[in-house]
Amino acid sequence: MADSTRDRILNVALRLFAEHGYAGTSVASIEEAAGLSPHSGALYTHFGSKQQLMGAAVERAIQTAMAGFALAPMLSLGNLEAELTLVARGSLVLMASWRDLIRVMAKDGDRFPKVMADARDSLFGRSRQFLAKWLEDKAPEEDSVDRDFEAITAIWLGAIENYWIATSIHDDRPLGIDEDRFVQQWVHTLMTAIGARP
């Protein structure tokens, strides 16, 4: 029961931080949104402070990301197109699970520079490193030496991030392109970029 209460506090706190900002969210409002008695100090049973709560929310997102990387060896399907489709869809799902945290990072990142730098490195930096190495391993050997896989990764993960931000944060579907159409073209153009044949 304690764990579910803790998770509920984390979830509602992140949502409130995303909507109202860290400074604009009181401990009492978090307690009330989490189904606890406001002004009771019940939040402090689980977290020493509002700042500690923020750090715990970031740590939970990082643990989710690490669990995803642990599953990466299962990605080998013997079909590059199917594997890249999983990468694209998995990236969009992960970003959806981090929605409130991403909004907090954009709104209040300068308030917690160390915590947010660690989050960016763990959530996004490691994803980029993993994909760059993975693409290099998957590319046809005959011409992979001439390709800059880190730059390719920055471009294609940037495209996923921008599409997700446009659709999920700004409620703006670029050119009316739905997720299936976006993912299909993301996969096909990336295969071409690494010298593989769709």
pLDDT average, residue stretch 44-59? 87
Q: What is the mean pLDDT of the chain?
A: 85
| pLDDT value, residue 98 | 81
In sequence order, the 6+-apart residues with CB closer than 8 A to the CB of 176 are none
Q: Which residues of 31-70 are buried (b: 16+ CB within 10 A; e: fewer)?
A: bbbbebebeeebbeebbeebeebbbbbbebbbeebeebee
Q: pLDDT confidence of 169, banded at 50, 70, 90?
A: confident
Report the alpha-carbon distance of residue 104 to residue 56 in Å, rounded.
14
| pLDDT value, residue 154 | 93
pLDDT average, residue stretch 150-162? 94
What pTM was estimated for this model as a whole? Answer: 0.78
Sign, CA torsion 115/117/120/123: negative
Helix (H) / strand (E) element for 156: namely: helix 149-164
Percent of the chain with pLDDT over 70: 91
